[in-house]
Chains A and B, each alone.
Chain A
Amino acid sequence: MSAAPPSSPAPSDPPATLSRPTSARDVFVTFMLLALQGFGGVLAVAQRVLCEDKRWLSRDQFVELLAIGQVLPGPNVVNLAVLAGDRFFGWRGAVAALGGMILLPLAIVLALTALYLQFADVPAVAGALRGMAAVSAGLILGTAIKLAASLRASPLGPRLCALLGGATFALVAWLRLPLLWVIATAGSVSVLLAWRALRHARARSEGAP
């Protein structure tokens, strides 16, 4: 009884008083403004703006779209923007969200790059970029460590997760194998193991009184 999975939405969820964007232009401008606030990643800003400021999405909807964006290939936050825009105005909304997210930041980052290339010979500028590169490697490593905590809930169990993750890391970081090969081997083994674990879990829960 106490082990029953929470299969229905929690009744304590506050009633949704969600709003909607007024037009595809509204979608474009909103995503542009939130992308411009996102230094070192847009996801946190997107959650704040879409769920709390604009109230276009509930947190549940945000997590749902993000999950799809993460499972599928492509930049998560861009996938999320496309899916959100699509929900409101179909493909027009998707294009508006994508354009808002990308166009102005693209112009800014290319201008920064051109500036950097002009001043790359100045030792302080080259040094600054080296320092920033070291930090951004750290940001990626730190994010990976943070995300690894989410594996605790994995049906694969911690040991298999560590084994599969370690094997993937070794194939890419040390053996430098092409990604397609790594996903075809480590990825498919991992998905098969997860499928087996889930099927066992289902059989157990169905067989239980």
Chain B
Amino acid sequence: MIAADALSVLLPLFGHFLMLSLLAIGGAIAVAPDMHRVLVGQMGLIDDAQFASSIAIAQAAPGPNVLFVAVLGYQAAGLPGALTTLIAMMLPSTTLALAAGRWGHARSDLIGVQAFKAGMAPVVIALLAATGWILVAETPGRLHIALTVAAAIAVWLTRIHLLALIAAGAVVGALGWV
């Protein structure tokens, strides 16, 4: 890859993920719709299947789910892409967490702090739901949707290990049912 070409991809990625980092209230997955908008739609670096598989691979692997950001970067632009997206995704948010954690420690009684927590809660949860929705909607197929619904119900109502659910999805998929 020519360096200038690489930079012309990596720099916009870096900038966009820096911004998403500060918007990712509720976790990196909450801003997945925006990553989809940019990586699949705007920049055309990966397709829908690659986007969905990135999240699946990160779920299947050990470690925090934020690593799906590195997988997205890897599929878009190799190892430099992975480091670009992951570092940009974590640098602003962890810096802010450190600063705000120290600052807010003694100020949890402030009405502004409580209003922020209470007000953002329904928005954050809706963002999570929208993320799941977009992942389902991008991959058509009745059995595919049935599998998603079954997994959602299992997470909601049972204590089945999440890895067991992922493994079941892998088996069902490998057999060619979805």
Query: Do B118 and A134 touch (CB < 8 A)?
Result: no
Query: Do A133 and B53 touch (CB < 8 A)?
Result: yes
The tally of CB-CB contacts under 8 A between chains A and B is: 386
Q: A105-B62, A136-B59 are in contact. Are A91 and B98 (CB under 8 A)?
A: yes
Residues of A within 8 A of B120 (CB): 71, 187, 190-191
Query: Do B94 and A74 touch (CB < 8 A)?
Result: yes
Query: Do B24 and A73 touch (CB < 8 A)?
Result: yes
Dominant secondary structure of chain A at its interface with chain B: helix
Query: Do B61 and A105 touch (CB < 8 A)?
Result: yes
Query: Do B65 and A41 touch (CB < 8 A)?
Result: yes
Indicate whether A102 reaches chain B with its CB closer than 8 angstroms: yes
Indicate whether B79 reaches chain A with its CB closer than 8 angstroms: yes
Query: Do B123 and A125 touch (CB < 8 A)?
Result: no
A187 to B127, CA, bound (A): 11
Indicate whether B45 reaches chain A with its CB closer than 8 angstroms: no
Query: Do A191 and B100 touch (CB < 8 A)?
Result: no
Query: Do B98 and A86 touch (CB < 8 A)?
Result: yes
Q: Which residue of B lies closest to A148 (CB)?
A: B125
Q: Which residue of B lies closest to A67 (CB)?
A: B117
Query: Do A137 and B132 touch (CB < 8 A)?
Result: yes
Indicate whether A63 reaches chain B with its CB closer than 8 angstroms: no
Residues of A within 8 A of B127 (CB): 168, 172, 179, 182
Q: Mark A119-137, 1 if CB is under 8 A from B, else 0.
A: 0000111011111111111
Distance in angstroms from A96 CB to nearest chain B CB is 13
Q: Which residue of B lies closest to A108 (CB)?
A: B61
Which listed residue, A129, A141, A202, touches B111 by the CB 8 Å rule? Answer: A202
Distance in angstroms from A82 CB to nearest chain B CB is 5
Q: Which A residues, 177 to 199, have Cβ-Cβ distances below 8 Å to chain B?
A: 178-180, 182-183, 186-187, 190-195, 197-199
Q: Which A residues, 35 to 49, have Cβ-Cβ distances below 8 Å to chain B?
A: 35-42
Residues of B within 8 A of A104 (CB): 63
Query: Do A68 and B155 touch (CB < 8 A)?
Result: no
Query: Do B100 and A129 touch (CB < 8 A)?
Result: no
Query: Do B23 and A180 touch (CB < 8 A)?
Result: yes
Indicate whether B135 reaches chain A with its CB closer than 8 angstroms: yes
Indicate whether A113 reaches chain B with its CB closer than 8 angstroms: yes
Query: Do A70 and B26 touch (CB < 8 A)?
Result: yes
Which listed residue, B27, B63, B118, B152, touches A156 by the CB 8 Å rule? Answer: B118
Distance in angstroms from A118 CB to nearest chain B CB is 13
Q: Mark B82-115, 1 if CB is under 8 A from A, else 0.
A: 1000100110111011101110100000011011
Residues of A within 8 A of B31 (CB): 179
Distance in angstroms from A41 CB to nearest chain B CB is 6
Residues of B within 8 A of A148 (CB): 125
Q: Which residue of B lies closest to A83 (CB)?
A: B101
A128 to B74, CA, bound (A): 20
Q: Which B residues, 125 to 150, have Cβ-Cβ distances below 8 Å to chain A?
A: 125-137, 139, 144-145, 147-150
Q: Which residue of B lies closest to A91 (CB)?
A: B98
User: Which 3 pairs, one residue from A and one from B, show the smallest C-beta to C-beta distance?
Assistant: A131-B173, A105-B63, A74-B93
Write the residues of chain B forming the contact surface with A, with a CB cutoff of 8 angstroms.
19-31, 33-34, 37, 49, 52-67, 70-71, 74-75, 79, 82, 86, 89-90, 92-94, 96-98, 100-102, 104, 111-112, 114-137, 139, 144-145, 147-156, 161-163, 165-166, 168-178
